[in-house]
A and B are shown apart, each in its own frame.
Chain A
């Protein structure tokens, strides 16, 4: 607890290894979350995100490594003594208790009297927008309401660390936006150290002050969201965050030759792997690259263009009203300030997983 009584604790995971049978799930995970901050853990299905969260919460035995919370090692402690609170993918409420008793469950385990715990639960129900819901049975609540109760239950525990495992994935899109905003507001107000698991890169960027990308049981890159989106450490990170434009070549005198054309490129001379986000690719009448539109896909908010010429392939996104037709020839500009040169040591997304390590 800090001076204001708020529960805060930094998380430090070192060399965390978890195996299921003989198959490794976590391969020496290193993760640090400063106290009072919000980190989104993102990755594809099967990357080990939920396993890491469960290991931190004490629900999954670890083979090796350490977990420190607020400077204290907790990896030897059972789940009920770790001081974490978890909001799971499903609300996991107790159906024989009403909403208030579910919210105040941690107070019940702490021996707090019924009158006091119901009063604190009522206040928290108000915080999550469910004023007056205390006596409702779980079966009477919608999925979104149940998830709000689960969030209130987690807040009621005043945890050192708040863990959330894709908590809004079963909620409809509009409610999800509301819940994300609510979560951020409550986290900032209470300065809770928070780890949010998601497979949605957009949600990760929206919710995480920092984002950690996990692939095949390792944290591949951990930084501010804009860094992962715009300055990925490897082609595979670039692809995960939506930039499939990977351009290979040799930079000579500040320029790189792509197809028949030479364009300005960042960095010193030498072999290079460049990436540029699709939304930074500009369709310009005087652009240096001439490409054909191979495919157009309307996505609702923009149109995605697949462009190509010979070996050169690019993806660009444009406003639907500006989208050229498939088969059209367009000129393209790749602004040098938007080109990111992926560090060579990590540029090969095709290399074995162990070479992804950034440390």
Chain B
């Protein structure tokens, strides 16, 4: 087994096993003394959990699709620019999500810097029920990440192939579809999958900018733990296992899609 796979299996698999154990362990608050599925029953019966699941999926889908679409447009526009412009555009990548979320809060919250500068904001972006502020922050953070992935494969070889396609009658749109897309498809799908999985399990940006209800899955788990430190642990673990399971499903679906597209 390759060392990287071993590390992943030990770390990720170990954490998952720990969560599974916690989700079926007897509650420390005086519940049944043998292993049981009470935490799962509580979780699945909770309307707050189902709404959190739907809300997390909605945020992951919208943020990742928007970031991917923007990334393609930006990468096509940026590829002919020099290293300076590319570096400037990739600046948001190393900035922590929490920092971006806090800065966004300072600017976009009611009475914030943007409102003071502009008078009023056309949209409510902080604590709004649709999670628009959360999506905005993830699009801002993840688009440069995807652009970097795309620019890595859009080198001089691709440009040469584009020229060849053009002299054989392909219009710029057809060049994009027939020459560029087959090259960027795989890294774009994989990058988008990473973004979707990340957003699906993230909690810091929704905590700062998200609505009080519905919560994201990670926020739901945190809240369950905080509400009842003893009984809530199993529910929190079960809800995080759902988030992890969904991320694995997204990854599997996208990998399958990438393979199908390559065939």
Interface residues of A (CB under 8 A from B): 57-59, 78-82, 84-86, 88, 90, 92-94, 96, 105-106, 108-110, 153, 157
A82/B167 in contact, CB under 8 A: yes
Query: A108 vs B169: C-alpha distance in the bound complex, in angstroms?
Result: 9
Given A94-B179, A94-B182, A96-B182: A106 touches B168 (CB 8 Å cut-off): yes
Give Cα A105 to B170, complex, Å. Answer: 9
**Given the complex of chains A and B, what is the CA–CA distance between A142 and B161 in angstroms?**
18
Measured between alpha carbons, how far is A106 from B170 in the docked complex, in Å?
8
Question: How many angstroms from the CA of A59 to the CA of B160 in the assembled complex?
Answer: 10
User: Smallest CB–CB gap between B160 and chain A, Å?
Assistant: 5
Quick one: given A92-B160, A92-B163, A109-B174, are A85 and B182 in contact (CB under 8 Å)?
no
A59–B169 contact, CB under 8 A?
Answer: no
Given A94-B179, A94-B182, A96-B182, the answer on whether A80 and B161 have CB atoms closer than 8 Å is no
Q: Is the CB of A59 within 8 A of B165?
A: no
Produce 1/0 per residue, B143-168, CB < 8 A to A.
Answer: 00000000000000000110111111
CB distance from B261 to the nearest CB of A (A): 10
Contact A80 B164 (CB under 8 A): no
Residues on the A chain within 8 Å of B161, using CB = 92-94
Instruction: Check A157/B168 contact, CB under 8 A, given A59-B163, A92-B160.
Output: yes
26 sampled A-B residue pairs with Cβ under 8 A = A57-B167, A58-B167, A79-B166, A80-B166, A80-B167, A80-B168, A80-B169, A80-B171, A81-B169, A84-B167, A86-B167, A88-B160, A88-B163, A92-B163, A93-B161, A94-B165, A94-B178, A94-B179, A94-B182, A96-B183, A96-B262, A105-B168, A105-B170, A109-B170, A109-B171, A157-B168
Given contacts A94-B179, A109-B174, contact A153 B160 (CB under 8 A): no
Residues of B within 8 Å of A109, CB to CB, are 165, 168-171, 174
Question: Most A CB atoms within 10 A — which of B160, B163, B174?
Answer: B163
Chain B interface size, as a band, is 10 to 19
With beta carbons under 8 angstroms apart, the residue of A90, A105, A108 that contacts B160 is A90
Q: Is the CB of A85 within 8 A of B179?
A: no
CA distance A46 to B206 in the complex (A): 58
CB of B187 to closest CB in A, whole Å:
14
> Nearest 9 CB-CB pairs, A to B?
A109-B169, A92-B164, A79-B166, A106-B168, A96-B182, A86-B167, A109-B170, A105-B168, A80-B166
Contacts of A93 in B (CB 8 A): 161, 164
CA distance A248 to B160 in the complex (A): 48
Minimum distance in angstroms from A35 CB to a CB of chain B: 19
A sample of 5 more A-B contacts (CB under 8 A), given A92-B161, A94-B178, A96-B183, is A58-B166, A79-B167, A85-B167, A105-B165, A153-B168
**For the complex, what is the distance from the CA of A79 to the CA of B162, rounded to whole Å?**
11
Query: Once bound together, how far apart are the Cα atoms of A96 and B185, in whole Å?
Result: 12
**CA–CA, A94 and B170, complex, Å:** 13
Chain A residues near B164 (CB-CB < 8 A): 86, 88, 92-93
Q: Could you tell me if A59 and B182 are in contact, using CB atoms closer than 8 angstroms?
A: no
A80 proximity list for chain B (CB < 8 A): 166-171
Out of A57, A92, A106, which one reaches B169, CB within 8 Å?
A106
Residue of B nearest to A60 (CB): B163
> In whole angstroms, what is the CA distance A25 to B249 when docked?
56
Q: A79–B174 contact, CB under 8 A?
A: no
Most buried by A among B160, B166, B171, B179: B166
Chain B residues lying within 8 Å of A96, measured Cβ to Cβ, are: 182-183, 262
Q: Which residues of B contact A90 (CB under 8 A)?
A: 160
B166 adjacent to A78 (CB under 8 Å) = yes
B residues less than 8 Å from A79 (CB atoms): 163, 166-167
Which partner residue on chain A sits nearest B174 by CB separation?
A: A109
Distance (Å) between the CB of A98 and the closest chain B CB? 12
